Structure 1
Amino acid sequence: MTKAIIFDMDGTLFQTEMVLEYALEAVFADLKSEGKWEGEAPLDAYKDIMGVPLSVVWGTLLPEETEQVREKINGKFQGYLISSIREGKGALYPHVKETLADLKEAGYTLLIASNGLPDYLKAIMDTYHLDRYISDVFSIAAVPSGDKGELVEKVCRTYEVTEGTGVGDRLSDFNAAHRNRLKAVGCRFDFSKEEELKEADVIIDDLQELKNI
């Protein structure tokens, strides 16, 4: 019987945009050198679909490439992201650690459910020492369907969550929370969209506001 708060990672706790541009430009520079891309890296297109599974990302950005090529590109992309994180190019959002510390002290079990892959999430957790506050991290790789709702269901089942809140910035986060009978808190941060935030039960502009909900 657990009282839990389940957080998204990208665009909720971690300022993904700070490493995203570097990694995307690097991987598309590789594609350009191989004659598979022309022009600038599609940063705006990526931001627009941020939060969907990576298979959908590469299918959208590179629709004419084979699945094998997309997997290879994603591997390079993940490598660039992880190296950026470990080199300190990223950052948490303001007040993340203070908020997590206060919520943990208040008796909540804090968990992560993310569309990110395990090594990427581990790089963030290790770099910012989030294991001081977060009890467990669940990657979308844990569910073959790639469905965020199913991932949150796995989290709730594993930790016997009976009362909880899902915190995220995109529609998939709010739908996943509601599907599992959790309150949905929407973060009005970098990648959020106003039309999607309408589906959240509560909207916040700073993580500190969680302590008052």
Structure 2
Amino acid sequence: MNIFENIKTIFLDYDGTIHNSIKIYGPAFRKSYNYLVNLGEAPEKKWNDEEISYWLGFSSKAMWEEFMPNIDPDIRDKASKIIGREIVSQINSGKAVLYPHAIETLRYLKDKGYNLVFLSNCSIGYRDKSKEIFGLDSYFVEMACSEEYHYTPKYKILAILKKKYPTDMVMIGDRFQDIEAGKKNNILTIGCNYGFHKPGELDEADIRIDSIKELKYIF
């Protein structure tokens, strides 16, 4: 039995699921961290991509609360804005990269009649710039981001969104926030092995995939 045979609505995470975001987040994080070092707010450190990728999937609010909980709020906000500006600059410079087969898979799912809903712990500006560059609004019926919901946890945003769309549903993503969102809303989950998850984060997913292209064989 195919547990996904009656699915009508597909919620998709963005970073680590559709977008290989370490390519632009890494430089943005390092620039922000160097700002903090120059202010004497952080020790010098050379961050590698694996260390930085831990924060991909977190909302900005959750990231800073865990990363530097005791920093002055004004300094934190400036550091956060540096990341945001640099990410947009990286996208404008053509450095953003989607995973192989991402667009063809989104097109396939849309053409099959699924309701595709973008759900990301990202800012409005980042969402809008990604939409502009990659034409994502051609595939998604809605593109929701956590800033629109005051950076509330993803599972709470999903609880709001799911009321608007037909069941059955599935949540697809690469981090624990995505699996948690699906489980807490009693919908199926697909974990993306190719993203930025850490050991154990995807253990409760109903199935796992090694490429976004595999969705074409599931749906």
TM-score (norm 2): 0.89
The answer for the alignment partner of 1:88 in structure 2 is 94
Q: How many residues align?
A: 211
Q: Structure 1 residues 117-126 or 53-62, which shifts more?
A: 53-62
Q: Distance in 1 between matches of 2:149 and 2:161?
A: 11
Match of 1:208 among 204, 213, 219: 213
The answer to whether the Cα contact below 8 Å between 1:46 and 1:57 also exists between their aligned partners in 2 is no
Q: Distance in 1 between matches of 2:165 and 2:127?
A: 23
The answer for the alignment partner of 2:109 in structure 1 is 103
- Deviation for aligned residue 1:145: 6.1
Q: CA RMSD in A?
A: 1.8
User: Within the alignment, does 1:197 sit opposite 2:202 as a pair?
Assistant: yes
Question: Tell me, which stretches of 5 or more residues in structure 2 are unaligned?
Answer: 1-6
Q: Distance in 1 between matches of 2:127 and 2:151?
A: 19
Partner of 1:80, secondary structure, is: helix
Q: Distance in 1 between matches of 2:61 and 2:104?
A: 34
- Deviation for aligned residue 1:45: 4.1
Match of 2:167 among 159, 162, 180: 162
Q: Distance in 2 between matches of 1:190 and 1:113?
A: 16
The answer for the alignment partner of 1:71 in structure 2 is 77
Q: Percent identity?
A: 28
The answer for the alignment partner of 1:7 in structure 2 is 12
The answer to whether the Cα contact below 8 Å between 1:18 and 1:89 also exists between their aligned partners in 2 is yes
User: Within the alignment, does 1:20 sit opposite 2:25 as a pair?
Assistant: yes
User: Within the alignment, does 1:57 sit opposite 2:102 as a pair?
Assistant: no
Q: Distance in 2 between matches of 1:83 and 1:118?
A: 15
The answer to whether the Cα contact below 8 Å between 2:193 and 2:208 also exists between their aligned partners in 1 is yes
Partner of 2:200, secondary structure, is: helix
- 1:148-189 Cα offsets, whole Å, 9 max, x none, are 1111112212x3332111110011101111222221000012
- 1:73-128 Cα offsets, whole Å, 9 max, x none, are 11121000111012111100110011011100100011111100111111111111
- Deviation for aligned residue 1:40: 2.4
Gap change, CA 1:87 and 1:145, over 3 Å in 2: closer
User: Within the alignment, does 1:32 sit opposite 2:48 as a pair?
Assistant: no
Partner of 2:8, secondary structure, is: strand
Q: Distance in 2 between matches of 1:70 and 1:190?
A: 27
Q: Structure 1 residues 35-44 or 175-184, which shifts more?
A: 35-44
Q: Which amino acid aligns with 2:210?
A: D
- Deviation for aligned residue 1:51: 1.6
Q: Distance in 2 between matches of 1:71 and 1:131?
A: 29
Gap change, CA 1:96 and 1:35, over 3 Å in 2: same
Q: Distance in 2 between matches of 1:145 and 1:190?
A: 22
- 1:28-48 Cα offsets, whole Å, 9 max, x none, are 222233333331254554322
Q: Distance in 2 between matches of 1:181 and 1:161?
A: 14
TM-score (norm 1): 0.91
Q: Distance in 2 between matches of 1:7 and 1:63?
A: 29
Q: Structure 1 residues 88-97 or 25-34, which shifts more?
A: 25-34
- Deviation for aligned residue 1:200: 0.4
